[in-house]
Amino acid sequence: MLLLASASQRRTELLDLMGIKHKVVDQKFDEDSVIETDPVLCSKLIVEGKNISARALLSPTDKNCPVLTADTLVFTPSRKIVGKPENYEHSRELLREFSGATHSVFSTVMISTTEQSMLRTCETKVSFKNMTKEEIEEYVLSEEGVGKAGAYGIHGPAGKYVTNIEGSYTNVVGLPVHETYEILKELNIL
């Protein structure tokens, strides 16, 4: 049984689509404690912290199970790392910056066993159409982007603003499926 240390419904759904039996477990890592400005390193440090935290909280019956942690962050065109928006105004700022531009989404996935661990980072470039002020406002007020890295969910209504994707779609949803599958194979979990 794979343990998923994430409350993300999207990650659960993607593992279900892969046919991976799993259960959700807690982790208590403070993502804000990572102040790295390089998006790849930042993502890796967060995922490692989450994995260590999750392993420390496992019940005795789960101690020998593999633990999966993941993190998705957005690297804006102005070269800033952002996670989930702080409020409506922050969401508006992000969507204005994405409008008519291309940004990167990074997800790192880590799976650890009692003997070893592996992690991989995936980058996807996402381009948005030029959004009108009204489109941005409508999307922000719909609250569909609340709790999502970069203030949008590509799998929902925001998809209508996306003009191009270079790389893994599932990475932008929150879990790079191919990379996850390859790690599970290499660790002989599948």
User: SS3 string of the chain?
Assistant: CEEECCCCHHHHHHHHHHCCCEEECCCCCCHHHCCCCCHHHHHHHHHHHHHHHHHHHCCCCCCCCCEEEEEEEEECCCCCEECCCCCHHHHHHHHHHHCCCEEEEEEEEEEECCCCEEEEEEEEEEEECCCCHHHHHHHHHHCCCCCCHHHCCCCCHHHHHEEEEECCHHHHHCCCHHHHHHHHHHCCCC
pLDDT tens for each residue of 10-50: 999 999 999 999 999 999 999 999 999 999 999 999 999 99
Instruction: Give the phi and the psi of residue 104 in degrees, each rounded to 5.
Output: -110, 145
pLDDT at 171: 96
List the beta bridge partners of residue 141.
Answer: none
- In the residue annotation, 71 being an active-site residue is answered as yes
C-alpha span between 176 and 70 (Å, rounded): 9
From first to last of the 190 residues of the chain, give the pLDDT tens digit: 999 999 899 999 999 999 999 999 999 999 999 999 999 999 999 999 999 999 999 999 999 999 999 999 999 999 999 988 989 999 999 999 999 999 999 999 999 999 999 999 999 999 999 999 999 999 999 998 888 889 999 999 999 999 999 999 999 999 999 999 999 999 999 8
C-alpha span between 47 and 53 (Å, rounded): 10
pLDDT at 147: 86
Q: Which of 16, 38, 62, 71 is catalytic?
A: 71
pLDDT at 84: 87
pLDDT at 151: 94
pLDDT at 83: 84
The answer to whether the pTM exceeds 0.85 is yes
